């Protein structure tokens, strides 16, 4: 029995993480959400818009994935 961890992050963050490491430890899963900045933030991008979009898309992705697991019936 081990721990299972899921990291939900933007596509651009996952791209950076996968460049840093070629192996993912057992029990670790990455799930991406799209925020419109798949190539990351550029100097010419509006930072306030980026943060607003990231917060909105991240919150929506998290709420869509945080459904409680079904409970087993007591015998």
The model carries a pTM of: 0.60
Asked if residue 34 belongs to a domain, the reply is yes
Asked if residue 17 belongs to a domain, the reply is yes
Give the CA distances from residue 36 to residues 9, 45, 48, in Å, rounded to whole numbers and listed in that order.
Answer: 13, 12, 14
pLDDT at 73: 54
Residue with the bigger pLDDT between 61 and 1: it is 61
Please state the rounded mean pLDDT for residues 18-25: 76
Residues of the domain holding 35? 5-65
Residues 14, 39 contacting (CB under 8 angstroms): no
Residues 16, 40 contacting (CB under 8 angstroms): yes
Digit-coded pLDDT (tens) for 23-65: 888 888 888 888 887 787 788 888 898 888 888 888 888 787 7
Rounded to an integer, what distance in angstroms lies between the CA atom of residue 60 and that of residue 55? 8
Asked if residue 74 belongs to a domain, the reply is no
């Amino acid at each position: 029995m081990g721990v299972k961890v899921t990291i939900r992050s933007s596509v651009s963050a996952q791209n950076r993480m996968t460049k840093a490491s070629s192996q993912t430890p057992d029990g670790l899963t990455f799930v991406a959400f799209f925020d419109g900045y798949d190539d990351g933030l550029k100097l010419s991008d509006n930072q306030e818009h980026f943060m607003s979009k990231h917060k909105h898309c991240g919150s929506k992705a998290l709420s869509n994935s945080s459904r409680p697991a079904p409970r087993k019936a007591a015998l």
